[in-house]
Chain A
């Protein structure tokens, strides 16, 4: 089955700096890669997703890049703000699977 690895497990940045979280996946058939943000005590919420026919996708201060050859994808957050502090999860799925395979999460702390 699919195996998703996520790094780093914790990340601290100064407010205004950029943050990058990286994930690798094992199944070359995976074609859908969402990112979720989970604030303390809250539900995971989808913040951005990308499909395998696209190399990059942006939504305001967040972007995701996908390298199918290397089987890795990354979340980029620019101009970080304290409200970006949360745990971020990457995930992957392929047409043969009905569910998402999640990474173990990255705790991002933005220092004011």
Chain B
């Protein structure tokens, strides 16, 4: 689905550096999510946002910061990258509603921290 795009697709950085992963969606979905995917752990939720200026922690938020000043953007920042944050990061979005809505994923960012 071209409606949600992540950048960059690949990133290599060093420990201690700050790095920001971008996520942009064109569906005007109110909900956006950040996951990390590691072997043996599946998809683990880092942070999510229910609307602009509303964010909440997921399962593994430590070491990450998010913001949501506009509905369409949901950047994820690693303020001081560590090797344990080497992973594939997926952004997702969904429409509002409590009766269950599918999440739609971006293509992911493969992040390596040396």
Pick out which of these stretches binds chain A: B11-19, B73-81, B99-107.
Answer: B99-107
Q: Judging by beta carbons under 8 Å apart, are B50 and A93 in contact?
A: no
Interface size on A, residues (CB 8 A): 22
Q: A98-B56, A99-B45 are in contact. Are A42 and B107 (CB under 8 A)?
A: yes
Q: Mark A38-53, 1 if CB is under 8 A from B, else 0.
A: 0000111110010100
Pick out which of these stretches binds chain A: B20-28, B36-44, B63-71.
Answer: B36-44
CA distance A95 to B31 in the complex (A): 14
- B84 contacts the other chain (Cβ, under 8 Å)? no
Q: Judging by beta carbons under 8 Å apart, are B100 and A32 in contact?
A: yes
Interface size on B, residues (CB 8 A): 24
- A89 contacts the other chain (Cβ, under 8 Å)? yes
Which residue in chain A gives the minimum CB-CB distance to B48? A99
Q: A89-B42, A102-B42 are in contact. Are A32 and B99 (CB under 8 A)?
A: yes
Q: A89-B42, A104-B40 are in contact. Are A98 and B31 (CB under 8 A)?
A: yes
CA distance A103 to B98 in the complex (A): 21
- A78 contacts the other chain (Cβ, under 8 Å)? no
Q: Judging by beta carbons under 8 Å apart, are B103 and A100 in contact?
A: yes
| Distance (whole angstroms) from the CB of A52 to the closest CB of chain B | 8
Q: Judging by beta carbons under 8 Å apart, are B106 and A105 in contact?
A: no
Q: Judging by beta carbons under 8 Å apart, are A43 and B106 in contact?
A: yes
Q: Judging by beta carbons under 8 Å apart, are A44 and B56 in contact?
A: no
- B8 contacts the other chain (Cβ, under 8 Å)? no
CA distance A74 to B75 in the complex (A): 35
Question: Within 8 Å CB of B100, what residues of A?
Answer: 31-32, 34, 49, 51, 93
B residues with CB within 8 A of A: 31, 33, 40-45, 48, 50, 56, 58, 90, 98-108
8 cross-chain pairs, A with B, having the tightest CB-CB distances, nearest first: A32-B100, A104-B42, A43-B105, A95-B98, A102-B43, A46-B102, A102-B42, A105-B42
Q: Jot down 10 A-B pairs with beta carbons below 8 A, ordered by A.
A: A6-B42, A31-B99, A31-B100, A32-B100, A49-B100, A49-B102, A98-B48, A98-B56, A99-B58, A104-B40
A residues with CB within 8 A of B: 6, 31-32, 34, 36, 42-46, 49, 51, 89, 93, 95, 98-100, 102-105
